[in-house]
Chain A
Amino acid sequence: MRKAVLFAVAVCLAAPLAAQQATKKFDYKPVDGIQTISLAIDKVKINQIVFKTGKAVGGPLRRSDAECVIRIDNDGLTPVQAGVAVALFDEEGNLVAAGSGGTRVGWLLAGERDASAIRFPFVYRNMEKAKTFLVTLEVQPKPPKDAPAPAPTPGG
């Protein structure tokens, strides 16, 4: 019995830190492009999103400069990788823009703030009709130095 408990404890300790995720839906109500929102996983928080509806770059180029910038605060004590996805929908449920951004290199250190730009270069033409949007925050804490290899993810 004792061995079984010890084994279970060992397995739990050896379990890699899995990515945590939270998704929340918001009404699209930016003022001058800025909207205050609240989405958090433990101490990693998103409090603000800034939308730019943008327009086509011009000439034969078809990309737009539409984007949103998400502010991520790591108020925790552990460095994290953070990923954020944003999807905007119109009143009928059509997706009018979508994209993702996040930690590109290294870690978002404890106590630090990062602004992540999410571009909408190819699906943007109906962005002004947006009524709601989804924000997903994905957080992977940095494992301790003596911890086993990080969690195997689809991307890993």
Chain B
Amino acid sequence: MRIRTFLLMAVFAAALASPASGQVATKKFPWQPVGGVQDINVQTETVVVGQVMFDLGSTLKATPLRKSSANVRVRIDNNSETDEEVGVAVVVFDAEGNVVAAGSNGTKWGYLNKGARTYYNIDFPYVYRRLDNAANFIVTLETRAKGKGTKPTDNAPAPDVTPVP
């Protein structure tokens, strides 16, 4: 009896210790911003990335600093009934498939509350010099519902996937 209890506890502990995966959806879009703004749709169940706003940025002239202020502002809606952890990654490609910018942002603290909207700025500080050659971009949305510590994807629908170049 003791051994069974011990085994059950060990299995439970192992389950808790296993890396928690999230739901993930990736989608590719042609680069068509108007005034920097482009409406898109990437979603995992009820969390949606609905808009991106690109800023090609600038660098500080006559300084040794090499960082650019280029970034993309991503709008995220949590339309679900649960609070969610959210991560978003954006990779921008030129017509030949070269990466011209890449980065990620997301929930830093706590959760994105159910029904809430938020914006994340994804910076492109180091690879930005050919952003004007952008031809398409992919957006990945990664979410995990509050209270779903491990493997929430097991019962989730298949993500919306577009093959990358």
Residues of A within 8 A of B (CB): 19, 21-23, 53, 55-56, 60-63, 81, 83-87, 89, 92-106, 116, 120-126, 128-129, 134, 136, 138, 140, 151, 153-156
Q: Which residues of B contact A116 (CB under 8 A)?
A: 126
Chain B hits for A56, CB < 8 A: 20
- Quick one: given A60-B110, A94-B140, A94-B161, are A138 and B104 in contact (CB under 8 Å)? no
Partner of A105, one of B59, B65, B140: B65
Q: Hey, which chain A residues are within 8 Å of B89, CB to CB?
A: 87, 95, 97-98, 122-123
Residues A138 and B64 in contact, CB atoms below 8 Å apart: no
Which B residues are in CB contact (< 8 Å) with A61? 108-109
Interface centre among B19, B56, B59, B97 (most CB of A within 10 A): B19
The contact string, 1 if C-beta is below 8 Å from chain A, for chain B 112-146, is: 00000000000011111111100000101010100
Assess whether B59 is in contact with A156, with CB atoms less than 8 Å apart.
yes
* B69 on the A face (CB < 8 A): yes
Question: Are A83 and B126 within 8 A (Cβ)?
Answer: yes
Tell which of B91, B100, B108, B138 has the most Cβ of chain A within 10 Å.
Answer: B91
**Is B57 in contact with A155, judged by CB distance below 8 angstroms?**
yes
Residue of B nearest to A81 (CB): B66
Asked if B22 contacts A155 (CB within 8 A), the reply is no
- B24, B106, B161: the one within 8 Å of A122 (CB): B106
How many Å from the CB of B74 to the closest CB on chain A?
11
Docked-complex contact A123 and B104, CB < 8 angstroms = yes
Query: Contact at A100–B108, with CB atoms within 8 Å?
Result: no
Please give, as numbers and ranges, the residues of chain A lying within 8 Å of B14 by CB-CB distance: none
Query: B residues within 8 A CB of A102?
Result: 66, 125-127
Decide yes or no: A123 and B88 within 8 Å by CB, A95-B26, A155-B57 being known contacts. yes
User: Beta-carbon contacts of B89-105 to A below 8 Å, as 1s and 0s?
Assistant: 11100001111111111
Q: Give the Cβ gap from A74 to chain B, nearest Cβ, in Å.
A: 14
Q: Are A155 and B104 in contact (CB under 8 A)?
A: no
Q: Do B130 and A21 touch (CB < 8 A)?
A: yes
Among residues of B, the one whose C-beta sits closest to the C-beta of A139 is: B129
Scan B41-85; emit 1 where CB is below 8 A from any A CB, else 0.
Answer: 000000000000000111101001111111000000000000001
The answer, among B100, B108, B125, for a CB contact under 8 Å with A63, is B108
Assess whether A100 is in contact with B124, with CB atoms less than 8 Å apart: yes
Q: How far is the CA of A154 from the CA of B99 in the complex (A)?
A: 14
User: Cα distance A11–B21 when bound, in Å?
Assistant: 55
Expressed in whole angstroms, the Cα–Cα distance for A103 and B105 within the complex equals 21
Interface flag for B32 (CB, 8 Å): no
Given contacts A93-B162, A125-B142, A136-B100, 6 further A-B contacts (CB under 8 A): A19-B130, A85-B127, A87-B102, A100-B127, A103-B66, A155-B68
Contacts of B125 in A (CB 8 A): 100, 102
9 closest Cβ pairs, A-B complex: A122-B106, A155-B68, A102-B126, A95-B140, A19-B129, A136-B99, A125-B22, A154-B131, A122-B87
